[in-house]
Amino acid sequence: MIRVVILASGGGSNAAALMEHFKNHPQIRIVGLWTDKMHCGARSLAQQKGVEDRFLESGFWSDETRMKALIQEQSVDFFLLAGFLKLVPEYLVKQFPNRILNIHPALLPDFGGKGMFGMHIHRAVIAAGKTQSGLTIHLVNERFDEGKILFQKTVEFDSGTTPETLQQIILKEEHRWYPVIAEQYILSF
């Protein structure tokens, strides 16, 4: 079994899509959902779906020794970020080269980087007068949203679309694509 941990900080709809997709998968198992937020939707969803959830406080993420011990104990092979707001620590990127994936709700390299998360992204896209946006699935490196792009899907929308509606349109596509692209990537690794 290939052992995958989801990292999440928010509502957890992508985490839920991943947990659902990999439930009963013959080769890939979601062995945990780790979060930096004591209370978040992602954590509750993991509990509902019987995936082991762990809240790791801020000092834990920066403590390489403790984190590496947990990773070893859980035999983690890949990390999938799903609405994880923290910058992944450099030691983790080094320990997992090309084995940490993220999804971003815009067409990178546009509308990415520090501060570009959640509704900020969709507001910025609309403020820029765009009628196209989309999603990007990419590898994680030491900088926000700059790792190698694995997959992009464009969506078109009418001018006059609100940021909230755009978020919903893109989230639906995220749930559709993230599990299958992550699966393909992991299996071909």
Give residues in contact with ligand GRF (CB under 6 A).
10-15, 42, 82-83, 103-105, 171, 174
In the bound state, the residue with its beta carbon closest to ligand GRF is 83
Question: Residue 36 Cβ, how far from ligand GRF at the closest point, in Å?
Answer: 13
2 or 85, CB closer to ligand GRF?
Answer: 85
For 130, residues 6+ apart whose C-beta sits below 8 A from its C-beta are none
Q: In a 3-state reduction of DSSP, which class is residue 65?
A: helix
CB closer to ligand GRF, 13 vs 67: 13
92 vs 116, beta carbon nearer ligand GRF: 116
- Are the beta carbons of 155 and 132 closer than 8 angstroms? yes
Instruction: Write the DSSP string, 97-133.
Output: TT-EEEEESS-TTTT-STT--THHHHHHHHHTT-SEE
Is residue 56 a contact partner of residue 35, using CB atoms and an 8 Å limit?
yes
Residue 73 CB, nearest distance to ligand GRF (Å)? Answer: 26
Type and span of the H or E element at 41? helix 41-49
Q: How far is the CB of 70 from ligand GRF (least distance, A)?
A: 22
Given its phi and psi angles, is residue 153 left (phi above 0), alpha (psi -120 to 50 degrees) or beta?
A: beta
Q: Which is nearer to ligand GRF, 77 or 174 (CB)?
A: 174
**How is residue 2 written in tokens?**
């290939």
Residue of 21, 25, 104, 120 with catalytic role: 104
Catalytic residue check, 21 = no
Q: Min. distance of Cβ 31 from ligand GRF in angstroms?
A: 19
> Minimum distance from CB of 63 to ligand GRF (Å)?
25
Nearest one of 158, 142, 27 to 91, comparing CA atoms: 142
Catalytically active residues, by annotation: 104
